[in-house]
Chain A
Amino acid sequence: MRDRARLLSVTLLSVVLLTLASGCVKVPPYQRGMLAHPTMTVDDVALGVDEHVRAVSEGAAGGIAGGGGGCGCN
């Protein structure tokens, strides 16, 4: 229970801090070209059975389900 609360607190704190920090860095649209590169996607780039092997062989799950934007694309 204590560990769960600690995990949640760390997550929320991280999100808040990073949100604040993100506001300090303004990246104009014309500087976001590199973010649109295929290798910069926030989604998992694993292919084939990779994800399935991990799900079966590791006792852990979840965490990073995939973001959404990330490239700041228009």
Chain B
Amino acid sequence: MPACHVDAGQPNGSFPTARSFRYLERVILRHLPRASLLAMLLCSALVVARPAWAAGEDASVSAAVGQIMTEEYPSNLGPAKKKLQDQLAICNRKGCSGPIKAQVLISIGMVTSQLGGADEAKASFAGALQADPSAKLPTSGVTPNIKSQWEDAKKTAPAAAPPPPAGGEEPPPPPPGGEEPAAGRAPPGWKSYDAFVLAIAALKADQEGRIDECVEKDKGSLKLEDQPRTRLHLASCEARIGKLVDALRDAQKALEAGLAKQDAGVMKVARVRVKELLDRIPHVTFIPPTGVTDLEVKFDDRPVPIESLTKKFSVDPGKHVVKAEGSVNGLASAFEQEVDVKERELATIRITLKPTSTPGGVVTEGQIKCMLAAKTQEEVQKCLPQSQKSLVIRVATDVSGYSDTNHVNVFSPGINGSLVSPTAGWNAGAHYILDVVSAASPDIVSTASPPFLEQRHAFGATGGYKPGLYGGQGSFNVSREPDYLSVNGGIAGTADLNDKLVTPRLAYSFSYDTIGRGPSNPLGDITPYKGTLRTHEFDMGVTFVMSPTSILLVGASLQFERGDQSKPYRYVPMFDAERVAPFVPVGATVDLVNRSRLPVRPLEQLPTSRDRYAVGARYNIRIGGNATLRLEERLYYDTWSTKATTTDARYMVDLSRHLRVWPHMRLHYQSAANFYQLAYSAVKDRDGTLILPTYRTGDRELAPLVTITAGGGGRIGLGAPEGETQYGITVVGDVMYSKFFNSLFVTTRTGIYGTVAFDVEF
């Protein structure tokens, strides 16, 4: 028979008999303790599990109550009470432990007490003590009233009224203030009965959703008595109707009051409220137009101080209207814009004034289109006729000086003036320069010539006319030295193409130079004239407007020189072709040259024709609105095989409306003319006659060299830039260092030169 088979006792599984029932009874009785234990365990599990479930509910309710008392107490008493009653309903429905239920009831009591319901508060406290006799008030947020009501509840706890009905299950609790104090008597903690009544009315309005009335009642209460809790409640209502700026101000005042009275409850809530509002409040800032001196700006019809326009203003979210007025180029102009500012947003409003009227009341179609498309104030101003004078006169005078290590010194005063009529399109100008030159360069000293002192007078005049897109310009220049006279005349034409974005220019000039010897001829050999030099020059250039801040000039020039331009005072040393010339060192001194040279002293002789070609570009770009970078590059070649590259750069910075400074750098490199030699040699023919090189020169500017120039300048504008008369003082200075790679006497030259100029324009 199976040992574990518990049946009626029949070994073979047949229907149980009485004997089997008695067996069964014995089995049951034997196993009853075990079964009972199992049942008890199951029951215990249920019992244990229920508290576990209840513990979970406890934690949830406790957390909810804690949050309500942190966030809503004492500022939002109405909503706080409702939420607490909901938690009590959960406790009653799902079950909470005594301490938790007591916590809820204590919180309800505190809120009700603040709402003025003393008896109701006591009832809640009594219910709390009934749920947990060891319950206590919290350490913060307890007013004297609450403490007093709690003590009363403790005394009458056994007979305390049942806890107030939970919301959601019972009809809603009576409105706050149902248990009002005696008429005319302010309750404890209040000085003004009317203020208290208004505060209660605000709470009621809040609970019923009439937030505007809430604000009105709270403000009325505060006028009578400044209660921090009332102010916090006011801040809450104001925030809910979008008056964030007012809400922040009131929350900050409540915080200050809480700090002054050491009211921890108020301080805690006020801090949270202030932080929340600071995060939510949007801001507005303005970009004012430039050049408008009589600007007035209003934001929602309230004036905005001009000096504060670029600061950030706190505003309420929603729609606002910005209005501005001022004069643009003498025309009354206005601006109006509606902005919709969202919470947390920083709105930037660019004020662009547009004329409301023009002289004579007429604005051209082009001006209208231009202004409508304008995005900034500068663009609008450019659309309107600029205030122009009919005649602009400019006079300038300058004094320049030059000195170098070759003992060449130049003093050069000058004066120039111009008349320009921007409206009629004509211009005229003239200049005069005097160069006083003293030279004792090695070239002169090596020939035993005394240093010389001479003057050069240069005069020039120019005039042009450009009534529209096309214009012409003429010029005339004369330069006179004792042994050199140069006369030059030229014409040029320009055109404005592609809406003035492309401006080509063609020019031609002719120079006629007379080379002679004058009284200062060191040899005393007066020759009426040595010869003439005629130069035809063609210049072409195109200016491109590349962008609103940059322009590019590309140009080329062709010069055709015909005539003998050899220097009449420059003698070229000759050396023995085999024994001396190859060994003359670069930079050989005057003494060495004089000791090594042949006795012959031929004059310099250059080719009588020279074609010169150059291409160049100049790029100007305005950077940052207050600086201009000017870059130039030139490539040169001529029929004497001289090749050169020249790079020039200036960075002109407007440090203020009156002061401009700039550094300057220039780099020039050139190769030698094809007939240039360090040491020329002369050979004797069979007759003993010396054969000289056909072309010979001692001009270092025909030798390979590199020149680096560095310096700078500055200009100070005197008086207001927009004044009728403008004055300016300009000072420039440069240091020039030249390295001669294959020259006699000197291998380097350092020169310094500068100019001080004064100009006036009216």
A residues at B contact (CB < 8 Å): 3-4, 7-8, 10-11, 14-15, 18-19, 21-23, 25-35, 37, 39-42, 45, 47-50, 52-54, 56-74
Contact = CB atoms under 8 A, between A and B. Distances in A.
Interface of B: 370, 373-374, 378-383, 386, 398-402, 410, 412, 414, 435, 471, 492, 494-496, 498-505, 507, 537, 539, 541-549, 551-559, 611-618, 620, 622, 625, 628, 630, 632, 634-637, 642-644, 646, 650, 652, 654, 660, 666, 668, 670, 673, 701-702, 705, 707, 713, 730, 732, 734, 736, 738, 751, 753-755, 757
B612 A61 contact: yes
B670 A47 contact: no
Contacts of B615: 7, 10-11, 14, 63
13 contacts: A4-B611, A4-B637, A7-B635, A8-B556, A15-B554, A35-B548, A48-B412, A49-B410, A49-B435, A49-B755, A62-B616, A66-B505, A74-B386
Contacts, number: 250
Nearest to B456: A52
Contact of A48 (B400, B544, B555): B400
A42 B494 CA distance: 13
Given A19-B542, A60-B646, A68 B382 contact: no
A48 B711 CA distance: 14
A33 to B, nearest CB: 5
B684 to A, nearest CB: 33
A59 B751 contact: no
Residue from A14, A15, A28, A63 with most neighbouring chain B CB atoms (10 Å): A63
Contacts of B380: 30
B688 to A, nearest CB: 37
A1 B255 CA distance: 90
A57 B751 contact: yes
Nearest to B545: A72
A57 B738 contact: yes
A47 B757 contact: yes
A29 B496 CA distance: 13
A36 B702 CA distance: 40
Given A26-B501, A49-B753, A58 B701 contact: yes
A25 to B, nearest CB: 6
Contacts of B635: 7, 63
A19 B612 CA distance: 26
A63 B545 contact: no
Given A33-B378, A37-B628, A73-B500, 9 more contacts: A34-B548, A34-B625, A42-B543, A42-B618, A48-B755, A50-B755, A56-B701, A59-B702, A62-B612
